[in-house]
Structure 1
Amino acid sequence: MPGKQTEDGPVEVEAGEDGAEEDLGGLTLEELQQGQEAALALEDMIALSAQTLVNAEVEQLYQEVRPLGQGRFGRVLLVTHRQKGTALALKQLSKTSTSLRSFLYEFCVGLSLGTHAAIVAAYGIGIESANSYSFLTEPILHGDLITFIQPKVGLPEPEAAQRCAAQLASALEHIHAHGLVYRDLKPENVLVCDPACRRIKLTDFGHTRPRGTLLRLTGAPIPYSAPELCAPAPLPEGLPIQPALDAWALGVLVFCLLTGYFPWDQPLAEADAFYEDFLIWQASGQPQDRPQPWFGLAPAADALLWGLLDPHPRKRSPVGSIKAYLGQPWRQQEGKVEGLGEAQK
């Protein structure tokens, strides 16, 4: 009997005699097994990490240099080791808003994924202080991607959008290969390694979950929310999450990189005219009849985004589909189309 995970623990779901995907909320047995294996591996890491936490006040071990980021539940600081002088990034989470398990979960997900070039490298040092939990990562000093996106422009350099998209797709493929779904792709979670925005790294894995974890949409949908999260869940406990959620968010982010604004406010046709126009345009199969928000994009960008933003998750292109469009023009400007290579008519 295959089991599924909720955010509170496993839920057992029995497949039908023919192993129909509908009995598993749309997952195949292979997909469900991959998620289970990822969940078990994380549980083992959490148990081990709980035994190896360093009990100390952060100030005793590290000297604060400056803040790098601030979130609702914690902050990221640039610090130096007091004895060795090594520069590090320290993420500190308050105990008033973060449980030990939540801290260990994010810490262990980062450790399991941090070998990828486009993912922030995590170091195996977790610290419990009187009022906080902390862990250490490599320092990324040029802020997050949101500061590089200009309103109504996107990333000004034509090649930058493709570079960022390619690196993010590779990072997400790495996450999916580990049986996990990232679930929180947005510019604020993409750190920039250099002023020219040539190298980026994905960070913040507090929302990452094993494939098949049962979830419900909490709060109002946002542009990055996939439409299946807004629909009635296929199982009473919720929607079994799939990598297609990350593909949708990647499509929205690529649109922002190219235009400097969201394609819509929420993926609900009855509530958002921009999203309804997109669905009509996509169903028409006529790229030349583009809605106003899509003016300025090249045909290759149309095809890429139509695939990533397919409203049906099983038909949606995987994140790796970006590779087929690299080097082609994604943006039109002044009668010319710009891409990774030489501008073309």
Structure 2
Amino acid sequence: MPIQYGVVGTGWITESWINAATKTGSWQLHAVYSRKQEQAEAFASKHGSKTTYTSLEELGADRELQAVYIASPNSHHYAQAKQMLQAKKHVILEKPATSTPDELDDLFKTAKDNGVSLIEAFRHLQEANFELLQRTINEQKRLGPIYGASFTYASYSSRYNNVLAGETPNIFNLEFSGGSLVDIGVYPVSFAVALFGAPKTSAYVPFICQTGVDGGGVIILKYDTFGVQINNSKAYQSFAPCEIYGEKGTITINATAELESIKHWDPKTKQSEELAGPKVEVEKPNVSMFEEAQEFARIISENDVKALAALERVSRDVIKVTSEMRLQNGILYPADKS
């Protein structure tokens, strides 16, 4: 039977999740929450659901509901997720899961105390092409010892136009736990952490935009024998690919999200070979979340504690790194001061 789930948040990412989850056949949208009844009803009607809530208490009390997908503003994640976990609902929580490591610690404890699962939705880490890349690195046949890596995710946000006009949209607002690092930088940071483990040290050189958050910048993750350079931004655009450098060659990846191409360049033959397989097609402006939705349904249905523990390690390592780098640069959220 499909998992009966509800959604908190009615933005484009939630629509992508619903469309992908429906395609898997493993999820069934049961309820929509919004603070505004009209918005909840319109969104629910669009996606074939008849149940709406404007109260999180009532959402959590719904006996048919098994899980909740949360894609609200970053600063709301902790309180909303905790409420759903305490109601014994599985929670799929959009990245960044929480504003601070302490909040994340508490959510994982709450999930365990209530016998349910908490999963941070790093969609790119669930793609078949990411798993292929991971195997390629671990086997060392094509790369050998790693000498370094360079990851880029810099995409100009239309909402930065609002910042330049003197406004403070949520994603560029300290009060809403915003900024480039936690919104877009977590993609390459989690990419590195999932591939190479937690770094020994990390440093961030951001530029601070007029709202007080980082608009982007350069990250350095230091490992025992190599370093990873990351360029992230929501205030400028980069078209640079991502690369991993090894003794036996170079792997070039089109992006840390939406992995469509993974090429291996051999220094002996001077030739490149495409390693990536085909991706699941999605209708624009949706993003590819099919593999993520499929895997999360499997984990929950099978209670795969090993997979949950692996995902938890990545989430804990990522927020430790991003929080340390924020604090290094005086980027403080209300949750940091509580």
TM-score (normalizing by structure 1): 0.26
Structure 1 or 2, whichever has the larger Rg, is 1
More strand per residue: 2
| Structure with the bigger percentage of helix | 2
Give the TM-score taking structure 2 as reference length: 0.27
